Amino acid sequence: MQSVLDQIDWEKCSLIPTIAQDAKTQDVLMLAYSSRQSLQETLQSNIAHYFSRSKNRIWKKGEQSGHIQKIISIKLDCDNDSLLFLVEQEGVACHTGAYSCFYRSLSSHHITQDEKIPTKDMSNTYDVLDQLYHSLCEKHHASPEVSYTASLFAKGDNTIAKKIIEEAGEFCFALKDHDEKEIIYECADLLYHTLVALAFKHISIERVYQELKSRMGQSGLAEKASRTKK
């Protein structure tokens, strides 16, 4: 296997663009990236693994949703720097519930969603913070005039930071007033604006989960001490 992996031009780019295509219908499902290790795991398991740039780790397609991609064959291009996975798709490929991530059409004047696209309800697949984060990311190209999130993106990190400080203050006041309903309400506002900041910086909520997991079982005092040393 190592001799096969050595044929790929990893020196040009450590992450190789990888297209996933339905082996039966020929529908192009998605574009992702393969690292040497993710490709090795793909070859060993015959299940598509990619390197997620947003999660900053190897990602088994469908690890949360169950919508895995079974490898039928893998093709390498003539320059040895891009891959084509021909797959059998379980469920859908796109996190939105569309079968393919390519469900919008672009012209010189506008972008439109293709008509009659079969979609799957994904509301119970991802937790609410994941769903909210992805929804916020989609607002990057929305009009600031019709989207509050887009208006925050347009104003930039100073405005976003001020909103987080404002919401943190209101949360603290609710906490001080022992008002349970307001505590929950203001906490939701604080989480929302914090996720806006993450989406603005293109930092996946998954990476925050990873950081929290790394601290599990570690003394808070020890964790703070390690940060001080750094």
pLDDT in tens, 174-211: 999 999 999 999 999 999 999 999 999 999 898 998 89
The answer to whether the Cα torsion of 57, 58, 63, 67 is positive or negative is positive
Q: For the chain, which residues make up each domain, given as ranges?
A: 2-113, 128-222
How are beta strands 57-60 and 69-76 bridged, if at all?
unpaired
Whether the full predicted model's pTM is greater than 0.75, yes or no, is: no
Per residue in 62-113, pLDDT (tens digit) is: 998 899 999 999 999 998 999 999 999 999 999 888 899 998 888 887 778 7
Residue 70: partners with Cβ closer than 8 Å, 6 or more residues away: 46, 47, 48, 87, 88, 90
Q: Which of 1.10.287.1080, 3.90.1150.10, 1.10.260.40, 3.40.50.450 is the CATH number of 128-222? A: 1.10.287.1080
The topology (CATH level 3) of 2-113 is: Ubiquitin-like (UB roll) (3.10.20)
Report the pLDDT value the prediction gives residue 64, as an integer from 0 to 100: 86
User: Over the stretch 26-75, which tens digit does the pLDDT of each residue have?
Assistant: 999 999 999 999 999 999 999 999 999 888 899 999 998 899 999 999 99
Strand duo 69-76 + 83-89: pairing: antiparallel
